[in-house]
A and B are shown apart, each in its own frame.
Chain A
Amino acid sequence: MIQKEAERIFETRELNVNMGPQHPATHGVLRLVLDIDGETIVKVTPYVGYLHRGIEKLGENLSYFQALPLTDRMDYVSAMSNNIGYCVAVEKLFGIDPPMRAKFIRTIVGEMSRIANHLLWLATHALDIGAMTVFLYCFREREWILDLFEMICGARLTVTYPRVGGVRNDVPQAFLDSLWKFTEEFPSRILEYETLIDQNRIWLQRTVGIGVISAEEAVNWGMTGPTLRGSGVPYDVRKHMPYDAYDQVEFDVPIGTAGDTYDRYRCRMLEMRQSNSIIRQCIEKLPPGPVMADDPKFVLPPKDKMLPITQPTDMAYFIIEKACKGCGMCLRACPAKAISGEKKKAHKIDQSQCLQCSTCFTTCKFKALTVVPGGKGLSDEKLAELAVAPDKLPDDIKEAQQNLTRQFDFIKKGPKVPEGEIYVATEVPKGELGFYFVSDGSGKPYRMRVRAPSFVHAGCLPRLCVGHLVADVIAAIGTIDIVLGECDR
Chain B
Amino acid sequence: MAVTQVRLTFAPSGLAPLAIAEKIREAFPDQVVEVVEFRDQVSVIVKKGQIVAILRYLHDDPFLSFDHLQDLTAVDYAKKKDVRFEVVYSLYSIKYRHRIRIRAQVPENDPKIDSVVPIWAGANWHERECYDMFGITFTGHPDLRRILMPEDWEGYPLRKDYPLKGPDFEHDWPGFTDMVKRSRELREFEWEG
Chain A positions within 8 Å of B, measured between CB atoms, are 48-49, 52, 54, 56-58, 61, 92-93, 95, 208, 216-217, 219-223, 233-236, 239-240, 242, 247, 250, 252-258, 260, 262-263, 266-267, 270, 274, 418, 420-423, 425, 432, 434, 436, 438, 440, 446-447, 449, 451, 455-456, 458-460, 463, 488-489
Name, among B4, B90, B129, the residue most crowded by chain A CB atoms within 10 Å (CB to CB).
Answer: B4
Pair B3/A255 contact, Cβ less than 8 Å: yes
Pair A254/B147 contact, Cβ less than 8 Å: no
Pair A233/B3 contact, Cβ less than 8 Å: no
Complex partner residue of B38 from A260, A421, A434, A489, CB under 8 angstroms: A421
Cα–Cα distance between A208 and B2 once the two chains are bound (Å): 11
Pair B1/A456 contact, Cβ less than 8 Å: no
Chain A residues lying within 8 Å of B125, measured Cβ to Cβ, are 455-456, 458-459
- 21 A-B contact pairs sorted by A residue (CB < 8 Å): A49-B149, A57-B158, A57-B164, A220-B67, A221-B120, A222-B121, A222-B123, A233-B94, A253-B5, A253-B6, A257-B1, A263-B3, A423-B90, A436-B71, A440-B80, A447-B76, A451-B70, A456-B125, A459-B124, A459-B125, A488-B148
Cα–Cα distance between A79 and B70 once the two chains are bound (Å): 21
B39 on the A face (CB < 8 A):
yes
B135 on the A face (CB < 8 A):
no
Pair B39/A420 contact, Cβ less than 8 Å: yes
Chain B residues lying within 8 Å of A236, measured Cβ to Cβ, are 8
B107 on the A face (CB < 8 A):
no
Task: Closest B residue to A462 by CB, please name it.
Answer: B124
Pair B73/A270 contact, Cβ less than 8 Å: no
Pair A48/B147 contact, Cβ less than 8 Å: yes
Pair A256/B3 contact, Cβ less than 8 Å: yes
Pair A262/B1 contact, Cβ less than 8 Å: yes
Pair A258/B9 contact, Cβ less than 8 Å: no
Name, among A92, A240, A252, A432, the residue most crowded by chain B CB atoms within 10 Å (CB to CB).
Answer: A240
Known: A235-B94, A239-B9, A270-B3. A92 touches B67 (CB 8 A): no
Known: A52-B149, A423-B101, A436-B88. A266 touches B75 (CB 8 A): no
Task: Closest B residue to A253 by CB, please name it.
Answer: B8
B68 on the A face (CB < 8 A):
yes
Cα–Cα distance between A186 and B14 once the two chains are bound (Å): 38
Complex partner residue of B3 from A92, A93, A217, A266, CB under 8 angstroms: A266
Complex partner residue of B120 from A222, A257, A423, CB under 8 angstroms: A222
Chain B residues lying within 8 Å of A58, measured Cβ to Cβ, are 164
Pair B121/A447 contact, Cβ less than 8 Å: no
Size band of the interface chain B makes with A? 35 or more
Cα–Cα distance between A449 and B89 once the two chains are bound (Å): 12
Pair A257/B2 contact, Cβ less than 8 Å: yes
Pair A61/B164 contact, Cβ less than 8 Å: yes
Task: Closest B residue to A208 by CB, please name it.
Answer: B1
B139 on the A face (CB < 8 A):
no
B10 on the A face (CB < 8 A):
yes
Name, among B1, B80, B149, the residue most crowded by chain A CB atoms within 10 Å (CB to CB).
Answer: B1
Chain B residues lying within 8 Å of A434, measured Cβ to Cβ, are 70-71, 90
Task: Closest A residue to B159 by CB, please name it.
Answer: A57
Pair A421/B122 contact, Cβ less than 8 Å: no
Pair A420/B149 contact, Cβ less than 8 Å: no
Cα–Cα distance between A250 and B5 once the two chains are bound (Å): 13
B7 on the A face (CB < 8 A):
yes
Pair B121/A258 contact, Cβ less than 8 Å: no
Cα–Cα distance between A78 and B149 once the two chains are bound (Å): 25
Nearest-CB distance from B135 to chain A (Å)?
A: 15
CB-contacts of B160-176 with A (<8 A)? 164
B41 on the A face (CB < 8 A):
yes
Interface string of B20-53 (1 = CB under 8 A from A): 0000000000000000101101010000000000
Pair B5/A252 contact, Cβ less than 8 Å: yes
Complex partner residue of A235 from B68, B90, B158, CB under 8 angstroms: B68
Pair A267/B3 contact, Cβ less than 8 Å: yes
Cα–Cα distance between A89 and B176 once the two chains are bound (Å): 37
Cα–Cα distance between A143 and B104 once the two chains are bound (Å): 47
Cα–Cα distance between A377 and B83 once the two chains are bound (Å): 64
B69 on the A face (CB < 8 A):
yes
Task: Closest B residue to A49 by CB, please name it.
Answer: B148
What would 20 more interface pairs be, CB under 8 Å, given A216-B67, A270-B3?
A48-B147, A49-B147, A49-B150, A56-B158, A57-B164, A58-B164, A208-B1, A220-B120, A222-B122, A240-B97, A256-B3, A257-B1, A258-B2, A420-B38, A423-B71, A434-B90, A436-B73, A438-B75, A456-B126, A459-B124
Pair B7/A252 contact, Cβ less than 8 Å: yes
Chain A residues lying within 8 Å of B75, measured Cβ to Cβ, are 438, 446-447
Cα–Cα distance between A412 and B6 once the two chains are bound (Å): 47
Known: A233-B94, A262-B1, A447-B75. A239 touches B8 (CB 8 A): yes
Interface string of B99-131 (1 = CB under 8 A from A): 001000000000000000000111111100100
Chain A residues lying within 8 Å of B158, measured Cβ to Cβ, are 56-57
Task: Closest A residue to B70 by CB, please name it.
Answer: A434
Nearest-CB distance from B81 to chain A (Å)?
A: 11
Cα–Cα distance between A438 and B74 once the two chains are bound (Å): 11
Task: Closest A residue to B120 by CB, please name it.
Answer: A220
Nearest-CB distance from B5 to chain A (Å)?
A: 4
